[in-house]
Structure formats: structure tokens, C-alpha cells
Amino acid sequence: MLERLQAMKDQALADLTNKDDIVALEAWRVMYLGKKGELSTALRSMGSLSQEERPVVGQVVNEIRAVLEQTFETKRSQVLQKAANEEERRNQLDITLPGRTPFLGAEHPLQKVIRRIEDIFLGFGFTIEEGPHVETDYFNFEALNLPKDHPARDMQDTFYIHSELLLRTHTSPMQARTLLARQPELPVRIIVPGRVYRRDDDDATHSHEFTQMEGLVVDHGISMSDLKGVLLTFAKELFGEHQQIRLRPSFFPFTEPSAEMDVRCIYCGGDGCSTCKHTGWIEILGCGMVHPHVLTMGGYHEEGITGFAFGMGMERIAMLLYGITDIRQFYMNDLRLLDQFTQIAR
């Protein structure tokens, strides 16, 4: 009996090795482990055995069942795994085919520059003001220390609606408007992005409409060194940690002292190239200490209250940052240009 069982086990195991699909496996299970299978038959035939033999044979039968079941389970999971693998292999895709890519929209390059600069100054505790495009002569000129027939008005050719109403030539009117609206509150820390208008013929470097960003700080004891500090941090943030700035004397009717700010040429790093006309520096913005007349007209009369202001052209900065060579491109909106702006991270 025991020999027969042993032989059956060997036969069962041998049979199992070449069963490699789930149907054959099931048939094997029925044949050996099923209710009418070999083992069950063996168990049923135990009645004919002696009292001594029964437990011995019973134990052997159970051991054989355990071995067969375990081997079967192992084999079954192998077969299932193999079938699953084959299924996956059949469903393999060409991963290089283009995906269903959603269209990407591009922020306009000028908006991108404005947002980056806004974020820098928001971090400094500035807020953002916006003002009217159609401005009065008073706010565009007179409140900025540019009385009528002042020669410095020639610096900006103006579109007029009538003699007292015009299209703002700079974002600076918001200096005067903000001061009047906020006085005597301190500190004033604002930036003003916005569109401005000059009566210029459009060409590669001129546009009758363009974009400026104004900055204004007024508080007790603001100094030119504070201006330098803010602008240096700004320049490093926008153009890179290694940036340096340089101030040169200049003239704006609404600041005194006035300056132009240069940064190290972002193309050659200061070695000199055609972009910086071999000076190593690039002019970025105009700035200065708020002219006392502007403060007074804005309602800040107290001695010791000073401020600084700056203004920069967004087109110029965008042209430098992105290598755009014709200012008109910003207003042409060629999708082939805009598309390229979907491909940068900030």
C-alpha cells in the first residue's frame, strides 16, 4: 500500500511538470486531488487496512496531499503569472507615439516679465497700483515738476486728446496720484506696471505703445543708498545672483538727484560685446530721489520725508532676457513666437 502511494505521488509530480496551461492543471488537480481523484480513492480504501496500518497510511496520505497541493499551488501561480505576462506582452504599446497632449497656452512675454518683477517687489512689501491710460496734463506733467512749456517735455512726444487731456507718456502720473490719495499715510511702497504712449513712428526699437513699470517709496529718511539697495537686490533676482549695478548721473524733472542704472551685460558678463557696445554694462532703468516739489504737490510737506522712484521699460527687459530683437514682435503676436514661451518654467 505504502509503495503504491509513493509511486502515485511520484507519478503525480512527474505529470505536473509538463502541465503549462490552466486547463491541463485543473484536469491534473481533479485527477489527483479531486473528490474522486487518486488520493481520495486511496483514503476510501483504507477501510480494508488493519488497525495498526491505518494511522500510518493515513499520515502518509495526508503528507502526500500536502506536498501535492503545495506543488500544485506553486505551479498554478507560475502558470497564471506566465499567462498574465503574455497578456501584457500582447498589449504592449509604442511608448514613443505622441500622447494626447493638451494644448499649452503661453503667457505673453511682457506679462511674464511684469509678473516676475511684480513678484520680486511684492516680496519687498510693495503693492501694485494701476492708473488710467488717458491722463490729464496736470498728472502727466505738472504734478511731476514739468510745468507747461518746460523744455524737458520734449523728452516725450505726446498724443493729445485736447490741450489738457492726453495719453500718458509714462507710468509716473501714478506717483502723483498715489501720493495725493494716501497722504499723510506712510510708508508708501508701490509699483505701477502699465501701458504708455509716445508719438513715435514704429520701428525695431520704437513703439507708439509700450509698457513701463514705475516704482515709488516715500517714508521718513529714505536715502539714495536705500534706492541702491533695493535695485541691487532686484537686479540679482531678475538677472542672476552675480549681478552688479552701476548708477550714473542723469536727469528727470521729478527726481533729484537722478540716475540711470546699468547692470552687467547679461550676454558677455561685462567683458564687452556688441549688445553692450563694448562697455560691459547695459542700461536698465532711470531712477532718483523724489523731487521735493513732487512730494509737496503730493501733500507731503514735513521735513525729513523723502523717497525714491524708478521706472523701466518692460519691452527692453524682455528683449534682453529673451533675445527678441524687434519691439513690434510684442504686438504682432506671432503664434510661432508665443509658442516658444510655453517651454520655460517661469
Partner 1 sequence: MKITWNWLGEYVDLAGLTPEKVATDLTNAGIPVEWMQPLSGQVKDVVIGKVLTVEAHPNADRLRVCKVDVAKGDPLTIVCGAKNVAPDQNVPVAIDGAILPGGKIKRSKLRGVESQGMICSAGELGLDARLLPKEQTQGIFVLPQDAPVGESIVSYLSLDDMVMELELTPNRSDCLSLRGVAYEVAALYGRSIHMPDAVVKESSLAEKLPLSVEIATEHCSLYTAQVVSNLKLSASPLWMQMRLLAVGTRPINNLVDITNYVMYEWGQPLHAFDYDAISEHKIVVRQAHTTETVMTLDGEVREVSSSAILIADPQKALGLAGVMGGRNSEVTEYTRAVVIESAVFDPVSTRQVARQLALRSEASLRFEKGIDEDITLQALARAAQLMETFAQGNIASNSIAKSTKIVEQRQVKQIAVFVKHIQSLLGYAISQSEMLEVCKRLGFTVRVVSDEEFHVFVPSRRQDITIEADMAEEFARLVGYDRIPVSVMRGQLTAGVLKPAQHLKRTLRNFLLDRGLHEVWTYSLTAPKVLANVLIDEGHPATKMGMLLNPLSEDRVGLRTIVLPSLLEVAAYNSNRGQKNIRIFEFATIFLPNQIPMLDQPVEAPHITGLLSGQVESVGPHGETRLFDFYDVSGIVHALLTTSGIAQDQISLVRSKEPYYQTGQCAEIYSKNVLIGSFGKIKTTVTECYDLQESFYFDLDFFMMQKLIKSDLTVRELPKTPGAERDLALVVDRDLPVQQVVDAVKNSAGHELENVSVFDVYTGDKVGADKKSVALHLVFRADDRTLTDQEILAKVETVLNVVKDEFGAYLRF
Site for partner 1 in 211-230 (CB under 8 A): 217, 219-226, 228-230
Total chain residues near partner 1 (CB under 8 A) = 88
Query: Would you count residue 133 as binding partner 1 (CB under 8 A)?
Result: yes
Query: Would you count residue 324 as binding partner 1 (CB under 8 A)?
Result: no
Q: What is the nearest approach in angstroms of partner 1 to the Cβ of residue 320?
A: 18
The footprint of partner 1 on residues 283-302 (CB under 8 A) is 289, 291-292
- Contact map string, positions 51 to 90, toward partner 1, x by CB under 8 A: ----------------------------------------
Q: What is the nearest approach in angstroms of partner 1 to the Cβ of residue 79?
A: 35
Query: Would you count residue 27 as binding partner 1 (CB under 8 A)?
Result: no
Provide φ and ψ at 207, rounded to 5°: -140, 135
Q: For partner 1, give the closer residue by CB, 23 or 104.
A: 104
Query: Would you count residue 322 as binding partner 1 (CB under 8 A)?
Result: no
Q: What is the nearest approach in angstroms of partner 1 to the Cβ of residue 10?
A: 56
Rounded to whole angstroms, how far apart are CA atoms 107 and 119?
A: 15
Residue 237's alpha-carbon distances to 151, 156, 269, 314, 342, in angstroms, are 37, 30, 16, 16, 22
Q: For partner 1, give the closer residue by CB, 172 or 258.
A: 258
What the block records as the C-alpha cell of 278 is 563694448
Q: For partner 1, give the closer residue by CB, 38 or 135.
A: 135
User: What does the longest C-alpha to C-alpha distance in the chain come to?
Assistant: 132
Amino acid identity, position 269: G
C-alpha closest to that of 141 among 252, 47, 16? 252
Q: Which stretch binds partner 1 (CB under 8 A): 35-43, 60-68, 268-276, 324-332?
A: 324-332
* β partners of residue 190: 127, 216
Rounded to whole angstroms, how far apart are CA atoms 145 and 176?
A: 10
Amino acid identity, position 77: S
* β partners of residue 261: 247, 285
Provide φ and ψ at 134, rounded to 5°: -90, 115
Q: What is the nearest approach in angstroms of partner 1 to the Cβ of residue 226?
A: 4
Q: For partner 1, give the closer residue by CB, 88 or 149.
A: 149
Coil, strand, or helix at residue 7? helix
Amino acid identity, position 340: Q
Strands 245-252 and 255-264: antiparallel
Residue 146's alpha-carbon distances to 143, 153, 172, 336, in angstroms, are 7, 7, 12, 43
Query: Would you count residue 170 as binding partner 1 (CB under 8 A)?
Result: no
What the block records as the C-alpha cell of 286 is 532711470
Q: What is the nearest approach in angstroms of partner 1 to the Cβ of residue 345?
A: 14
Q: For partner 1, give the closer residue by CB, 74 or 340.
A: 340
C-alpha closest to that of 222 among 131, 142, 295? 295
Query: Would you count residue 101 as binding partner 1 (CB under 8 A)?
Result: yes
Query: Would you count residue 208 as binding partner 1 (CB under 8 A)?
Result: yes
Rounded to whole angstroms, how far apart are CA atoms 208 and 169?
A: 10
Query: Would you count residue 239 as binding partner 1 (CB under 8 A)?
Result: no
Q: Which stretch binds partner 1 (CB under 8 A): 22-30, 83-91, 241-249, 268-276?
A: 241-249
The DSSP secondary-structure symbol of 299 reads T
Query: Would you count residue 306 as binding partner 1 (CB under 8 A)?
Result: yes
Q: Which stretch binds partner 1 (CB under 8 A): 27-35, 46-54, 70-78, 249-257?
A: 249-257
Q: Which stretch binds partner 1 (CB under 8 A): 2-10, 67-75, 82-90, 96-104?
A: 96-104
Rounded to whole angstroms, how far apart are CA atoms 18 and 204?
A: 81
Of 88, 201, 241, 302, the residue at the interface with partner 1 (CB under 8 A) is 201
Of 59, 63, 160, 184, the residue at the interface with partner 1 (CB under 8 A) is 160
Of 30, 77, 84, 132, the residue at the interface with partner 1 (CB under 8 A) is 132
